[in-house]
Structure 1
């Protein structure tokens, strides 16, 4: 529980100390680049993981094209968003479940808005399409985006799965933006956080993340069904995790 208390205290401290910078950005947003805004979340995530001895090994950064992309991430821990923001050093926005807790979280919700995070309503198809279009427009304007297409924690959806089935509609973001998809594979994060609530137990672990080669299939063939593309991406990500497990 000590790790959790350290981690939670640091979030309160870090985000509270960011208020002056947050107010400056809100007052004169044109004076700040996307990189300057994103760097706060990137460093906050890095320091948060180091504080509780979650050590990241990052592989495959050379696979990220020098253009805006859609990152596709697996999701087995409540800390995966910290792992994502810590690993990606270019500005990204996340597609986040449209839940009141995320929209109303003090300070954090303001940073989410500034970094162009998009809330998606998974119960309303019409609203979901609006969110997909918003995320695609962010990419077209130069901002990479990230999505956890499982839609929930892997072990919550399917306790026996390495990566659970994708909600393949999320891939439409890349179709509309005509951008590459970069699979982002998180390995060994399952027990970094025990629980499914805001309060849980944090365990120190070595975690490996890998950026797989970019995917252009949907650009070359716009009629390719998202469900087929999703299964292909998921298979590649599972293969990467299996290789890691065999070697560890």
Structure 2
């Protein structure tokens, strides 16, 4: 019953976002990019604050001052739980689009909001569509919009990380923008299997940016391991 009430409150909140969603659509039609981004960012921050207040949880952020403010970046994060997207949206100071699984596009209202937040939906087993998605992300980065990706591809459901897929890093290397490693701790505890919401504390640590421009082929080959090792330094049991 408790979870049902929480989900009902969340659904009612999402309905209240429709006027702002209509504003974002209007600005997009009119080509008013700055206005669209501002509306979406304000709503995103309000949405994530509401989520963590609703489930009585806290997001503690470390290293925010390390994030470049004069250019787009790719946030590369470990992936512990269902709430990692709103966690990064809440923690990052600038607007962030995501490479997300195709299933999220079909979620009522949330999928539409994600599209106006420069999110890109990827079909895991469709190589051609995945390449197209990466190229779209590269274009967003070149236009100055930061992106985020989870190179494990799926939730680890705990502190251990899965293998980082090298193809994920093409988003940053093709756009020649820095990678900001992001460590998420304990997000798997908030919403484990069975949709049982649990209050808790999540910690997000932003590491020093790693440049991708001018790297040799050997350095590009080591990049996934380098980023994963940096993230692992801040993992807590």
TM-score, scaled relative to structure 2: 0.91
Structure 1 residues 181-235: Cα deviation after superposition (integer angstroms, max 9, x where no partner) = 001111122211111xxx511111111111011001x313152465521111111
1:185 aligns with 2:183: yes
Partner of 1:223: 217
1:57 aligns with 2:55: no
**Partners of 1:69 and 1:35 in 2: CA distance:** 18
What root-mean-square deviation, in Å, do the aligned CA atoms of Structure 1 and Structure 2 show? 1.8
Counterpart selection for 2:37 from 24, 34, 37: 34
Contact map agreement 2:138 2:175 (CA 8 A) in 1:
yes
> Aligned with 1:153: secondary structure?
coil
Q: CA deviation at 1:173?
A: 0.4
Counterpart selection for 2:108 from 106, 109, 112: 106
> Aligned with 1:34: secondary structure?
helix
Structure 1 residues 104-160: Cα deviation after superposition (integer angstroms, max 9, x where no partner) = 2221121111111001122122221111110011010010000011000113xxx7x
Q: Could you list the runs of 5+ residues in structure 2 that have no partner in the other structure?
A: none
Structure 1 residues 66-105: Cα deviation after superposition (integer angstroms, max 9, x where no partner) = 1110001111111111211111131111101123xx2222
Counterpart mapping for 1:114-129 below 5 A: 114-129=116-131
> Aligned with 2:213: secondary structure?
helix
**Partners of 2:110 and 2:216 in 1: CA distance:** 36
Stretches of 4+ aligned residues off by more than 3 angstroms: 4-7, 224-227
**Partners of 2:218 and 2:127 in 1: CA distance:** 21
**Partners of 1:138 and 1:182 in 2: CA distance:** 17
TM-score, scaled relative to structure 1: 0.87
Partner of 1:93: 97
Partner of 2:74: 70
**Partners of 2:6 and 2:78 in 1: CA distance:** 23
Contact map agreement 1:175 1:219 (CA 8 A) in 2:
yes
Counterpart mapping for 1:185-204 below 5 A: 185-195=183-193, 200-204=195-199
Contact map agreement 1:68 1:139 (CA 8 A) in 2:
yes
1:208 aligns with 2:203: yes
Q: What count of residue pairs does the alignment treat as equivalent?
A: 232
Counterpart selection for 1:83 from 65, 84, 87: 87
